[in-house]
Amino acid sequence: MSDYELASLFFTIMEAAQATFANFLAIISGMIAVSYFFAHKLDRTLSALLLVIFSLFSLGFINEIFAAYSDFARLGAQISAQGQLPETGLGWMGPVISGAGGLAPVPWIILSMTIASYLATIWFFFHARGMKRD
């Protein structure tokens, strides 16, 4: 790949990862709002259905986010390696300046954040379900 194609792909993957992460946060925020306003009104069947639907969407997004950030880290490693060559024009990019080692833990950090937010949202659903309201 040319330097331009690598740089363009790097930012395209990053934009896709951020957009997917934003969609995941919208699902989390929506579930928190639904939990607060309606969890105490739902019977067990509807609660289970809501949690299954939420879990399917959330776990799908978590998988997509992890895959996108993994691609981002691997491409960053490739850019870092190619950026060390004397004839390259990639010296201005972050992976070349800081090295590819800094990107390796990013997918795992993002994965732990998304799983923690998913589990916290499930916990909040049950917490809101048990709250006493007048």
Q: Write out pLDDT tens, residues 87-128.
A: 877 777 767 667 667 788 999 999 999 999 999 999 999 999
Higher pLDDT, 32 or 94: 32
128-134, long-range: CB within 8 Å, 24+ apart, which pairs? 128/35, 128/36, 128/39, 128/40, 129/35, 129/39, 129/40, 129/42, 129/47, 130/40, 131/40, 133/40
pLDDT score, position 55: 97
Pairwise CA distance, residues 134 & 129, whole Å? 13
Residue recorded with tokens 């996108």: 68
pLDDT score of 35: 94
Q: pLDDT, tens digit, for every residue of 51-76?
A: 999 999 999 999 999 999 999 888 88
Tokens 């949690």 locate to: 51
